[in-house]
Chain A
Amino acid sequence: MLVVIGGATSVNDLAAEESAAIRIGVLAYRGKVPAVERWSATAAYLSGRIGRRFEIVPVNLDEMADAINSGTIQFTLTNPGNYVSLEARFGASRIATMQTRDQGQTRVRYGAVIITRATNPDIASLSDLKGKSFMAVSPVAFGGFQMAWRELMESGIDPFSDFSDLQFAGFPQDKIIHAVQNGTVDAATVRAETLMRMVEAGTVKLDEFRILNPQHGNDSTLPLSTRLYPEWPFATLKNTPRDLATRVAQALLSMPPDHPAARTSRTAGWTVPLDYSPVHRLMKTLKIGPYQVLRQTSFTAFLERYAGWFAVATLVLLFLIILLGYISRTNRKLKHTQSVLRSEISERKRSQEALARYRDTLEEQVTERTEDLKNTNRSLEKSRIALRELVRITSAPDLSHDEKLDRLLDTGREYFALPVAVLASIEADGQRICRISGDAGLVPGRSGPLSDKCVALLIEQKGEPLDIPDLDRTSADCGCRQQGWNNYLGAAVMVDGHIHCTLEFAGTDARSHVFSKWDHELLKVMAQWIGDEVELQIAHEAQQRHQAEFARVSRMSTIGEMAASLAHELNQPLTGAINYCSGCLRMLREGNTSPETLARGMESAVEGATLAANIIRRVREFVQKGDTQQSAVDLNRAVRNVATLVMHEARRHDVEIKLDLDENLPLVQGDMIQLEQVVLNFIRNGIDAMDAVKSGNRILAITTRCMKGEKVMVSATDNGEGIAEEAMPKIFDAFYTTKPEGMGIGLSISRSIIESHQGSIRARSLSGGGTEFVFEIPVQQAS
């Protein structure tokens, strides 16, 4: 029975199944009645083709899920977005994709437009939509919102937060377009065909709107703002028999595009199921449908949401850590300070005990030291006065080297209260007195130091003072006794690390008081100063020798450089003399010339020879006079001499030398030859400097002037090319030259010559080109 019942049941079920209508769940996005009206013909077509009754079940999105869950429907016809969700949740599987016909074209994909009024100047692209009002069909409408949503998201706009107002107007979409047309909203999105349908119907004009984010390069002729997505799918459900699904698919695919059923459903028949992965990508981007789960678990989204709290928590934690660190550091410091304090306290205790002990002996020590100090003070005061005197002597500018030495010895004699002072230099064959001060009668006829033995000791001590207060008592074998000295003080004078001479003081009487440490220091200072003075003198002499030698080399090289000019200068009178002489010889041989005529020829020959001799004498004078000789010099004369010497050189270079001499020029003290050398260097420099100047314009002006009766100025001004600014600081340096053949010593020797005459030398570039070289020398003081 049970079996029968069971069997009957199964048979009944089967019969019921056979006879029962096959239900197609259709997404009724515009209401249930229009959905039934639209798809009934298709259901009838399928009934006719398959031989079973097909029924349309209009559902909304929520009802669709319920209908599938309860197995009420076997097939579903819904929008791509919903289909993708059903695919994921219920295993729905597409068997055909709807075709549409539009403007004569069959389409299987569709898209949406995002429009604004063409007259709205603010909105040119999607990103301009921020803060504007926006209208769409419904948040769940695939073509009527979600397609546009994706494009907006990718342009950085979240429609739910970035618009000033987001309205969902539902169907029909026409009113959305009208809302944009009359300015109720700034922008909106609708299915692309909707706009074109209204344009074709003449309700609106296309140029009233601006299509935002226009898409190009797709196969559609429609204006588009979004990507294209596959059209609605016809899908079978998990429990629907496969052969039924196959037959339905075949029936749909074989429906002609102009079949009445197709027309009623506003389609153009069906095609093979398309790829719905673009729809998946949209869903994934928007995190909706099957991808809603992404929205809930995204860690970054979570972070974004709670970023403020995270920041506060982190800051509090950080603050606590820093506080902890600070407290523990302060603790450590406190501990350390405590231990230091403890050790200081014990140290102080010990010191106090020691102080107490010392206090007892202090008083007598103070008395003792006070006495010492008084003595020291006296000696110090005495040596201070002596030192000041020594400083005055060594720094006196008008004293000569020898005078300074004499004064130093006198001061020393007075200070030490000893009657005789001797400075004896050490020569290869013994010692020789070079300075003697005081009672010369005490050392009659001596040419060496006061005491040979003592001097040997002085040399051994290398500058340390030797003090023998009582020769009688301390060293009988010293040898001083023979000369009658009883009292001796001396030190060696060091120059450049070697003993140069000895400084000795002596007296016949025994000393009345002991020389203090300060007295010995003063003696050392004296010896040092004498050494410095001698060193200075040696250096001065060496410098003068060098300078003289340098000047001679410079003069020789100058003459060498002038050789070509000098040769020409000599050739001229020599040729003349030769011509006259040979002319006379010829006349003499013929024998019929009068003696008067011959004499006239010989006179002319002598004239030429004399001229040549004068030139040679001038050159020799210039080259030979080497020793420096101080005398009163007339710089005008020096300038004229040099101008004569270089006359030919100047002519050869086509340079005109103009002299502008102050006829009331005072004399200067100096070396005529050296000063001539400076003038010569100036002139030769000027001649060389004007090589680049056009011939006929080369003028070298030599000027002498007396400056306020204190100085004599000599200047040489050329109109040559001048000196480059960077070369200016170096021109007086030795071996600095810009001339190919120059040695670079001319101006350097000039500077040392002028400096040794207490003068100054300088050069400056003139604004109009050319250079001025100037030296100034103090006027000779009337003595």
Chain B
Amino acid sequence: MNPTINIVDDDRLARESLKWLAESAHLSVREFECGQHFLDRFDYGSPGCVVLDVRMPDINGMELYTRLKKTGDTIPVIIVTGHADVSMAVRAMKAGAYDFVEKPYNDALMLELLQNAIAYDRDSRENQVKVDDVRFRIDRLTPREHEVMKFVLRAKQNKVIASELGISIKTVELHRANLMTKMNATSPTELVRLAMIAGLD
């Protein structure tokens, strides 16, 4: 699926000119005339980025950004404003916007920003695939294997694990072998790396 730049601006000239600029750099663009239009028709979960104008008659840019975040969509958002307002920029960045741009903007910088946003989106999506994979594998572990894995991650030896859990060393070795297979890990080091990807402590 091709990444798309979603432009939300009520001003026709501003919207269409940015589309023109983006398309000249072979980027695919979708236009939205107002905030409600965007909320109704945006293809949630699709890759790319969103460019939001701060001042719009129905829902202003900041409000729209908040509502988009609430849906859980992680697409990067660039906020554009006609008159620089430092406090608004700070608020936008704090809320997690990808960037904040003031009109009139340098066209080359704008294009670069759009491409960076798209790349960032792609990277985070790929990363998410990996995370999802590791989490899926962890979910398949039995409770006992999960317990043993925690000890392995803390670099405990089998006999320590056996005495801690009150089971025989042989049983520990069996659980350990199974969990390494299920996690598709060849060494404890790799297991640690996988755990980090999954965000385990």
Give A contacts to B, CB under 8 Å: 564, 567-568, 571-580, 582-584, 586-587, 601, 604-605, 607-608, 611
Contacts and interface: CB of A to CB of B under 8 A. Distances in A.
16 contacts: A568-B83, A571-B83, A571-B103, A572-B13, A573-B13, A575-B105, A579-B18, A579-B110, A580-B17, A580-B21, A582-B21, A583-B21, A583-B107, A604-B16, A607-B13, A611-B13
Contacts of B20: 579-580, 583, 601, 604
Nearest to B57: A651
Given A576-B14, A607-B13, A568 B82 contact: yes
B35 to A, nearest CB: 15
B82 A572 contact: yes
Nearest to B11: A572
Interface in B27-70: none
Nearest to A577: B17
Interface in B4-31: 11, 13-14, 16-18, 20-21, 23-25
B95 to A, nearest CB: 21
B104 interface: yes
B174 interface: no
B24 A575 contact: no
A607 B107 CA distance: 18
The 4 closest A-B pairs by CB, nearest first: A579-B17, A582-B107, A583-B24, A576-B13
Nearest to B105: A575
B108 interface: yes
A701 to B, nearest CB: 20
Interface string B81-123: 0110000000000000000000111011010000000000000
B25 to A, nearest CB: 6
Q: Interface centre among B11, B20, B21, B23, by most A CB within 10 Å? A: B20
A9 B192 CA distance: 157
Contact of B24 (A574, A584, A611): A584
A403 B12 CA distance: 61
A575 B83 CA distance: 13
A604 B25 CA distance: 18
B17 A586 contact: no
A777 B82 CA distance: 40
A608 B16 CA distance: 11
Interface string B184-197: 00000000000000
Given A564-B83, A571-B82, A578 B16 contact: no
Nearest to A569: B82
B11 A586 contact: no
A567 B83 contact: yes
Given A583-B107, A607-B13, 11 more contacts: A571-B104, A572-B14, A572-B82, A575-B17, A575-B103, A579-B21, A582-B24, A582-B108, A605-B17, A608-B13, A611-B13
Q: Interface centre among A574, A575, A587, A604, by most B CB within 10 Å? A: A575
Contacts of B82: 567-568, 571-572
Q: Interface centre among B18, B23, B83, B104, by most A CB within 10 Å? A: B104
Contacts of B25: 586
Nearest to A582: B107
Nearest to A574: B104
Nearest to B85: A564
A317 B110 CA distance: 118
A393 B21 CA distance: 75
Contacts of A576: 11, 13-14, 16-17
Contact of B14 (A575, A587, A601): A575
A574 B82 CA distance: 11
B24 A587 contact: yes
A586 B25 CA distance: 7
A601 B16 CA distance: 10
A440 B14 CA distance: 73
Contacts of A583: 17, 20-21, 23-24, 107
A611 B13 CA distance: 10
Nearest to A586: B24
Contacts of B11: 572, 576
A583 B21 CA distance: 4
Q: Interface centre among A573, A574, A583, A611, by most B CB within 10 Å? A: A583
A606 to B, nearest CB: 11
Nearest to B102: A571
A337 to B, nearest CB: 97
Nearest to A575: B104
A539 B90 CA distance: 57
B4 to A, nearest CB: 18
A582 B22 CA distance: 10
B102 to A, nearest CB: 8
Contacts of A577: 17
Nearest to A654: B57
A567 B82 CA distance: 8
A604 B13 contact: yes
Nearest to A579: B17
A608 B82 CA distance: 15
B104 A578 contact: yes
A214 B180 CA distance: 112
A576 B12 CA distance: 9
Q: Interface centre among A576, A601, A611, by most B CB within 10 Å? A: A576
Q: Interface centre among B21, B23, B24, by most A CB within 10 Å? A: B24
Nearest to A611: B13
A572 B107 contact: no
A605 B13 CA distance: 9
Contacts of A586: 21, 24-25
A587 B107 CA distance: 14
Nearest to A593: B24
A573 B103 CA distance: 10
Nearest to B13: A576
A608 B17 contact: yes
Nearest to B81: A568
B199 to A, nearest CB: 41
B18 to A, nearest CB: 6
A587 B25 CA distance: 8
A28 B199 CA distance: 128
Given A586-B24, A586-B25, A587-B24, A604 B17 contact: yes
A578 B107 contact: yes
